[in-house]
A and B are shown apart, each in its own frame.
Chain A
């Protein structure tokens, strides 16, 4: 395969992964590589990144794809010759490998190069899975990590690291190091797979989408952490955008002072008039969210985002429910600490649940009974949930009644549209009454929040 083909396929794969790479940018990348030469892999990576990746959130996908299309080595590397093959996967070899891994990870500083070599060796020795036939063998990071005992390794690491400091810190450090090794092994497995098949195949089947495209309900733990870190920057971006748009629409009364002041530079002739900004229209927001296990993650994110944007509303009140309704507004103090807010919210779930089975009908009825004062003609109502009510009564008339007391109402559903109404989902029936919006990832969430403000 020629270098040009490789480049074109790489650009294609980037586009498939959602990076908007234009033809001109592709040309820039080629020119950059021309200037840099091909001797240094990291320089080529930096060159490609500078020319093609224009957004921080795309960098993860880019790096993963770059490793697939421009792998650091071929096969198992030159060190692996036939004489090793016999003892490749013997009990003593596993123990030996485990010891060396522990030794590398437990030092004061981790030697990244040595760790990379260990990942290569681990996958080579223990990562192979027999396939259904000749040439169909495949590779598994899970198998390799399980067989070397990566989980048991944690305790060993903590014990050896704790000598230098305290337990808690050592635990955190050990976890971070094992996580970084796991990433190396996963990358290595992707590389071997890409070698056996094609990079395109691996790119399509294995790569995770960028963080704002990951569905709330399918996010892994590390990704949830990443999403949380995104919430505040996201809120800030949204707020700036909103303020800008409000300024752009300024058509308030004439600002006499500024107009006269501006006319000075044109000899007292007011060529341009200046206006006072119009007072923005702000509404009250009532958020009603399902915090049962299936959608808790999604509810948390939405609440955090809404409260981060609270200046855009005159008043925000939030209620959580499972089968009982509980007000959580007081947990969101202005300038409050996000970590503690999350913890408070999690703790308050108990108040929202009586029997622990989601019951939308009961929740709406209770809301109507106890918190009807929250509703009014200025209020926008926001319901968050998957509308899965365990085949219970949906209380459609009560919900309709609630809707009539509000100005606008929206329902955010974290499920894909095709699952609405399937199984115990009451989504389709509720959707007849209220505007129901699919909201599965951060991108959709921020679009929606922007639209309602």
Chain B
């Protein structure tokens, strides 16, 4: 089995090539998840690039991405596999009355009638695969139980067909917004990575790589302003995604410099609560009045 990355530096470098800038801890953990063949649980506030990390890994290694988006009420039939009931029914009717029961029974529980869902798809693939289980905290506790078997042994048991084991272990990334504590059992099986807001230098690099048209001074101003916003006690602090959106907006509006007027005109891109908006305008303006 080939390894995913050769070293933490290799992981960082290759992720950078596909446009995902990491810090050392992220690169190290990404490398380890591949080397130890353990699932990687990524937690952090919305918009810091958790999902993007999985996509970047798949781009960097040339593996295909299989995505399972979690939501409340997600069940086995939509996460793992389902029998194609309608097709089975057709098969029985087409066979007519004379077919033997044993024959029919064996026929309708075969590969042909199996609808594979993301988890099973990822396990059965022979090519390198990145399995992204997105927003795992949105699911019910039962689905976590389902994930346990898949994550620890990389196998799925289908009563009619037997146990399907992974030919090649996928690189698994689970993301969570921490709206709910995941169970200890799931956490124990995973490596853990907390993605927070990046420091100013790295954020500027990210902005410059995502929005190449932006000027150096403007990028610096945007990053500084966002850093100051994060210092305020806001309901939702702006994340990297919002910084990039802001930079794109400013470039699209052909604004070369960030001043008080442009800030208050475009702040809606960064802050999504009225009270946050008011507070930011107040706080960002105050020092300028004093000087």
Contacts and interface: CB of A to CB of B under 8 A. Distances in A.
B273 interface: yes
Contacts of B33: 50
Nearest to B3: A35
Interface string A5-38: 0000000000000001010110010011001100
B184 interface: yes
A167 interface: yes
B181 interface: yes
Interface stretch (B94-102, B162-170, B190-198, B245-253): B190-198
Contact of A50 (B32, B72, B89, B233): B32
A22 B28 contact: no
B63 interface: no
A30 B178 CA distance: 27
Contacts of A221: none
A32 B36 contact: yes
A366 B193 CA distance: 53
B59 to A, nearest CB: 22
Contacts of A35: 31-32, 35-36
A167 B38 CA distance: 51
A54 B193 CA distance: 8
A265 B85 contact: yes
Interface residues of A, number: 47
Nearest to A168: B287
A92 interface: no
Nearest to A339: B233
Interface string B221-236: 0000000000011010
A167 B193 contact: no
A173 B36 CA distance: 42
Contacts of B287: 165-166, 168-169
Contacts of B24: 42-43, 46
Contacts of A228: 233
Contact of B290 (A31, A55, A168): A168
Contact of B193 (A31, A50, A233, A336): A50
B184 A20 contact: yes
Contacts of B31: 35
Contacts of A168: 286-287, 290
A168 B291 CA distance: 10
B122 interface: no
A167 B8 contact: no
Interface in A50-68: 50-51, 53-56, 59
Contacts of B275: 335-337
Given A168-B290, A228-B233, A335-B273, A28 B191 contact: yes
Contacts of B184: 20, 54
Nearest to A335: B275
Contact of A43 (B28, B89, B278): B28
Contacts of A232: 235
A35 B28 CA distance: 10
A229 interface: yes
A224 to B, nearest CB: 12
A247 interface: yes
A169 B190 CA distance: 42
A336 B192 CA distance: 34
Contacts of A46: 8, 24-25, 28-29
A237 interface: yes
B261 interface: no
A395 to B, nearest CB: 38
Given A31-B36, A232-B235, A244-B180, A339 B279 contact: yes
A244 B72 CA distance: 9
Given A28-B38, A50-B193, A237 B180 contact: yes
Contacts of B180: 237, 240-241, 244
A338 interface: yes
Contact of B85 (A22, A244, A266): A266
Given A236-B179, A265-B85, A49 B192 contact: yes
Contacts of B32: 32, 35-36, 47, 50-51
Interface string A326-346: 000000000111111000000
A328 B280 CA distance: 26
7 tightest A-B contacts by CB? A46-B28, A54-B187, A46-B25, A50-B191, A337-B275, A50-B29, A166-B291
9 contacts: A28-B191, A46-B29, A50-B33, A166-B291, A167-B290, A233-B178, A237-B180, A244-B180, A337-B279
